[in-house]
Structure 1
């Protein structure tokens, strides 16, 4: 061991130590900066509203991702970019910028080319079977991997938004019943939920931004349901649009929808709890039962084999 350490150049050891110290320093600074930012947000909550407005009013053309998308759009086939299904899925996942479809298409192309090459390089050359299996797995991962990751990101974001809708409706009811207008109530709820449910807060702020820009409120609310893809919000938007057209009480509609969504959330949790026992059968049958059979039946089987051997002699 000492001989192996003596053969390593001192410059390489110094480089490794420097990299480790640099990584630790970056991690420490990132954690300290995040704690400082969280503390400032708790002390001055208006800073979060300012940051939210800055994100909504950011010029996409000035960002680095848009410049990269413009460069990629000039060099990629048009058919790979204009994919409406992936476009809506990207919006559901939170990537609603104009550069998102182009960058995602580039990621799919790079993944389809690079992952099979890496699988071929890492596969053993002396075993043709494992080489073929590695190539097939690399091709499948390269083609289906980005789409699977995107679907997962969209599903997780929709779940987070779905969990925050009943709380947001309760806050909307309180604001509306206190005499606040609907637009002011929505922006107030977006400001209060920015630390707890940032995705839902950004979507609410988008509604107010579009209404202030001159878009009709019903279209802005329909855009909220379309951008999130959450069925609960689609039902809520339909009720709010119908209430605004008929002139009925918006507070009563919000309260009824909040109770309905909370009941649905509890039923969904009960359903998942009931499905847990069924889902546990397969891991038990594959991993636990064979081990139990080996422990219980193994000694008896060894004894039976030994006795049969003695009888055969």
Structure 2
């Protein structure tokens, strides 16, 4: 009976994982289908799309869940704000995000070691202890590692979208459009291609319309994304607004410098590829080549030495 219990639990866990993956796949596919329909639909007006970008919709379900968790969680986890910046960089800037992430940390720290204990072999205490310790480490460090990865990926997507957005801003500003209207136009045009940067631009305009100074709104853009290119761009735009110089020239210069920096980074990675290939070649390819080339000769020499000794 005891031997059948872990197998049934493992089957239950695998079934739950398959169900969760299926639900996520269906949700992602439905979102992509909806975005494709919005992109090709002729009935989608520009005003509706701009309104959708500028609205800060509050997820009522997540807010209720956060309120329920806030009443039942320890104060120490809620007081820890060291990961709040990473949550914003990853795109989770709602008020419910820190509470939900703290709850996920607790669940992961408790559930992963239990799953490791259930899945580990019971006849070997050493492997059982190793599995529990590894599960504990993964449960504690896993959520933070996933959050760091999500933040890094989002920052990379925003970083790749900045030069294109600057080109659109230059075109709009040189056509005589105000900066706020140009940012709205760029956010609308990039909503399907670069949704992260489009939503951040929409946040800037929404805050300016709410009465926040444009300087603070732009600085908030750099703080929310954590992208160095945007921080440099915001500094240039703020300085330009203070001095009254041409904003189009600043945007064009920043776009060219960002493309040059991206090209230099690609060249740097290409130059480092040869150096990084040395270690895999030395560890895996060269021993095999030596065995193929020197092996027959070594066997022949050993055979001849054996004949001479006889």
> Under a length normalisation based on structure 2, what TM-score does the superposition of the two structures give?
0.84
Matched, 1:94 2:91: yes
- Tell me the residue number matched to 2:68: 71
- Tell me the residue number matched to 2:256: 259
* Aligned 8 A contact 2:38 2:44 in 1: no
Q: Give distance in 2, aligned partners of 1:29 and 1:81.
A: 30
Whose relative contact order is higher, 1 or 2, with alpha carbons under 8 Å and at least 6 apart?
Answer: 2
* Aligned 8 A contact 2:116 2:135 in 1: yes
- Tell me the residue number matched to 1:122: 119
Q: Give distance in 2, aligned partners of 1:125 and 1:303.
A: 50
In structure 2, which of residues 189, 193, 205 is the aligned counterpart of residue 192 of structure 1? 189
- Tell me the residue number matched to 1:5: none
In structure 1, which of residues 33, 50, 65 is the aligned counterpart of residue 48 of structure 2? 50
- Tell me the residue number matched to 1:11: none
In structure 1, which of residues 170, 173, 187 is the aligned counterpart of residue 170 of structure 2? 173
Q: CA deviation at 1:219?
A: 0.5
* Aligned 8 A contact 2:53 2:202 in 1: no
Q: CA deviation at 1:295?
A: 3.1
Q: Give distance in 1, aligned partners of 2:96 and 2:31.
A: 29
In structure 2, which of residues 214, 218, 223 is the aligned counterpart of residue 217 of structure 1? 214
Q: CA deviation at 1:289?
A: 2.9
- Tell me the residue number matched to 2:228: 231
- Tell me the residue number matched to 2:280: 283
Q: Give distance in 2, aligned partners of 1:193 and 1:155.
A: 20
* Aligned 8 A contact 1:116 1:142 in 2: yes
- Tell me the residue number matched to 2:292: 295
* Aligned 8 A contact 1:49 1:191 in 2: no
The count of aligned residue pairs is 292
Q: Give distance in 2, aligned partners of 1:154 and 1:30.
A: 19
Matched, 1:105 2:102: yes
Q: CA deviation at 1:307?
A: 5.9
Unaligned runs of 5+ in 2: 1-14
Q: Give distance in 2, aligned partners of 1:30 and 1:159.
A: 20
SS in 1 for 2:232: helix
Q: Give distance in 2, aligned partners of 1:33 and 1:152.
A: 22
* Aligned 8 A contact 1:41 1:48 in 2: no
Matched, 1:84 2:78: no
* Aligned 8 A contact 1:48 1:194 in 2: no
In structure 1, which of residues 156, 160, 164 is the aligned counterpart of residue 161 of structure 2? 164
With 84-93 and 223-232 compared, the bigger mean Cα shift is at 84-93
* Aligned 8 A contact 1:49 1:194 in 2: no
> Under a length normalisation based on structure 1, what TM-score does the superposition of the two structures give?
0.83
SS in 2 for 1:85: coil
* Aligned 8 A contact 1:41 1:47 in 2: no
